Structure 1
Amino acid sequence: MPPMALSMITLGIILGTLMVISTNHWLTAWLGLELNMISIIPVIAKQKHLRSTESATKYFLTQAIASALMLFSSTLNAWQTGSWDITQLNNKMSSTLMIASLTMKMGAAPLHFWLPEVLQGSTLTTTLLITTWQKIAPITLLYMISNHIQSNTTTLIGLLSILIGGWGGINQTQLRKMMAYSSIAHLGWTITAISITPNIALLNIIIYMTMSTPFFLMLSTSSSKTLQTMTTHWSHSPTTAITLTLLLLSMAGLPPLSGFTPKLLILNNLVVHKLTIMATMMALLSLLSLVFYLRTTYLLTSTAPPTTTQSTTLWQLKPHHNQITAALAPVALFNITVLPALLM
């Protein structure tokens, strides 16, 4: 991609998100989301492959439908209340439609159908961008309207996301699809808490982004796209294998890693608000995600690739792999230090 085009695309992605974060008007927020969507489509379609073109088309269609639904919801609310203020979403139908549009933009269940397919047809770097940066704007809007969100709606969406995210990831051998369902499950925890404790919901998505960023970057440097290639990490780069293992266990929410911190806080607040059954269901459904996280860590640390001369390995080291791993290791190990800092 030419440097000028890349710089313009990067500027559009950053500017679109900043517009959404800084605005208090629905039309400006819609404009920022549209700018963000238009900027990332060339990034998804830059590969000379039919799968990437298909992914870009699916992404465009779903985001366009979500944007139209968002515009209709904000217009309906302005018609009923006379205000375009984001924090004044008082109409119940507008609130429900807005939640549907934002969950479709993020890829939460039951409007998650596009996310695994789009991520599978994208590069690992683009996958990282979609699962982290592209979720900042919709999460910010959800945070801003959290006082007007009906808790029953978000609870149902959250439970479905945790269930589908765990169930869908079990049968996956492609790492990008597995991480897509992992993203759906983490969004479930965030959406469940957004109407009860918005600050903890924001903490949950921030910690998830700090975990997934070094994970995807390490996979990108080693060209790992399937579970089969994960078996070669330990023999070629033990540092990468250990760091990826810690990141996966943190995503699974095992103590004392930091992925356990937001889950513990969310469950605690649900119990405080007399939603003990809801908290129990979420904790049990998260065990589905734990299955494929532990399976991946087992492949990373307890298996070795075939060593016969006839076998071939899919390992493809990129230049300066060790230097990149050394630079990402401290960022990844941050996921161990958050919980003790919180308890202090």
Structure 2
Amino acid sequence: MINNLTNFMFLMILMLGSIISISSNSWLGAWMGLEINLLSFIPLLTNLKNLTSTESSLKYFIVQALASTTLLFVVLLLSFNQNFPLEYNSYLNIILNSALLMKMGAAPFHSWFPEVMEGLSWTMSFILMTWQKIAPMILISYCLFHQFIFFVIIISILIGSIGGFNQTNLRSLMAYSSINHLGWMLSSLFISMTFWLIYFLFYSILSLSIIYTFFQLNIFYFSQIFSSLNNSPIMKFSLFCNFLSLGGLPPFTGFLPKWIIIQSLGMTNMALITMMVILTLITLFFYIRLTYSAFMINSTQISWNKLWVSNFSNLTILLNFLSLFGLIIISFLYLIL
């Protein structure tokens, strides 16, 4: 009871830190909010009974402290900067963007992200993939350096696509998927914050639908999926279709935010959106390969596992329904209204 109350308090402080960072009218206040967020997230990651989570929390702290130090250094330089040349300001802007990109785990500052994810629980992994990206992403929209972010978008989608190959650890796979989606989120900032918010909400729902299933089954590797879901073909079908939805394959819900970005960004930057779509097809390739092998290969069934697997909550069913049929529902509502 005490541990649950303590975790809840740290979670509230974590959210408060992000809100302070977003609503601040100065870079120093934004830095302070990020530090509050960091210092409240570390106790949530640390689990004295699990050495891997302790190692992950230490790695996360070192990387975030480095990014925070860089951010504070650049902010102080900018505050003293009155008569510096324009080229100097550009370099400082690139360093400022790099510090924020390191905080959210975007490529090429991504190497810590999969390693940290490997040692976390599914609950902490979901927070790291979603909420912890809100404050850096909004802050980076204030100082968007288009030429540099253009490079980061391409590298993030490429690394996120290639990194997912031959991954047997589900947390690593979700980490590389998050890096891939970061590229799409950064591209949505070229249009407006509204498009970023739409994409982020859809990404959070899709990630929650997959991670909540993993959390219920307590699985962390692909081999466990086949042994746990062989007696439940419907849930097996739903889970792998959720992967396809996360990859952005139509007619699943995950295609809708990508469709919006493609339609809007294609009017202004056709070269960028073409490269993004081509690189994202790599992600779809290994998702389809995994799905094909899961659906087509015969496997043994375990009789004692049947009742436990079939006892899924209503939240799981709702999330799977939204992930699989959200695009059809939204299209139908659009035609009616």
TM-score by length of 2: 0.88
Structure 1 residue 126: Cα displacement: 1.2
Conserved? CA contact 2:230–2:300, under 8 Å: no
- Which of 253, 262, 284 is matched with 2:257 structurally? 262
Determine whether 1:199 maps to 2:194: yes
Q: Flag the 1:339–1:111 CA change in 2: closer, same or farther, 3 A.
A: farther
For residues 47-126 of structure 1, what are the structure 2 equivalents within 5 Å? 47-80=48-81, 91-126=89-124
Query: What residue in structure 2 maps to residue 19 of structure 1?
Result: 20
- Contact map agreement 1:161 1:188 (CA 8 A) in 2: yes
1:43–1:94 CA distance, 2 compared to 1 (3 A):
same
Query: Share of identical aligned residues, percent?
Result: 34
What are the superposed Cα offsets for residues 239-279 of structure 1, whole Å, 9 maximum, x if unpaired? 43233233211111111222112222222333211x32222
Structure 2 unaligned spans of 5+: none
Partner of 2:289: 295
* Residues 48 and 267 (structure 1), Cα distance of their counterparts in 2 relative to 1, 3 Å cut: same
Q: Is the 8 A contact 1:162 1:285 kept in 2?
A: yes
Instruction: State the 1:9 CA deviation.
Output: 1.4
C-alpha distance 39-157 of structure 1, shift in aligned 2 (>3 A)? same
Contact residue 251 and residue 327 of structure 2 kept, 8 A: no
- Given residue 211 of structure 1, which amino acid in structure 2 is its aligned partner? L
1:322 aligned partner: 311
Question: Is the 2:266–2:273 Cα contact (8 Å) retained in structure 1?
Answer: yes
User: Residue 236 of structure 1 aligns to a residue in which SS?
Assistant: coil
Q: Measured at CA, do residues 126 and 316 of structure 1 come closer, stay the same or move farther in structure 2, by a change above 3 Å?
A: farther
Bigger CA drift: 185-194 or 292-301?
Answer: 292-301
The within-5 A match list for 1:123-202 is 123-143=121-141, 145=142, 148-202=143-197
> In structure 2, how many angstroms separate the alpha carbons of the residues matched to 1:128 and 1:55?
15
Change (3 A) 1:9 1:340: same
Does the 8 Å contact 1:243/1:329 carry over to 2? no
Q: Structure 1-normalised TM-score?
A: 0.86
Paired residue type of 2:78: N
Structure 1 residues 296 and 77, CA gap change in structure 2 (3 angstroms): same
Give the Cα separation in 2 of the matches to 1:304 and 1:101: 48
8 A contact 1:227–1:299 mirrored in 2:
no
| CA distance in 2: counterparts of 1:10 and 1:308, whole angstroms | 39
Change (3 A) 1:30 1:152: same
Question: Partner of 1:333 in structure 2?
Answer: 321
Shift, 1:47, TM fit:
4.8
What is the CA-CA distance between 1:295 and the residue it aligns to? 3.2
Q: Which residue of 1 aligns with 2:41?
A: 40
Which deviates further from its counterpart, 193-202 or 215-224? 193-202
Residues 152, 339 of structure 1: alpha-carbon distance in 2 compared, 3 angstrom cutoff: farther
Measure how far apart 1:299 and its partner are: 4.8
Question: For 1:13-60, what per-residue CA distance to the aligned partner results, in whole angstroms no more than 9, with x for missing partners?
Answer: 121122123222222211111111111112222152332222111100
Contact 2:244 2:287 in 1 (8 A): yes
Contact kept? 1:103, 1:111, Cα under 8 Å: yes
2:277 aligned partner, one-letter code: A
Shift of 1:2: 1.9
Residue 224 of structure 1, CA deviation? 1.4
Corresponding residue for residue 252 of structure 1: 247
Question: Cα deviation per residue 1:88-114 (whole Å; 9 max; x = unaligned)?
Answer: xx9433321221111101110000000
Q: 2: CA distance between counterparts of 1:186 and 1:7? A: 28
Structure 1 residue 321, shift from structure 2 partner = 7.3
Q: Is the 8 A contact 1:234 1:304 kept in 2?
A: no
Runs of 4 or more consecutive aligned structure 1 residues displaced over 4 Å after TM superposition: 315-318
CA distance in 1, matches of 2:286, 2:228: 18
Name the CA distance, whole Å, in 1 between partners of 2:238 and 2:25: 40
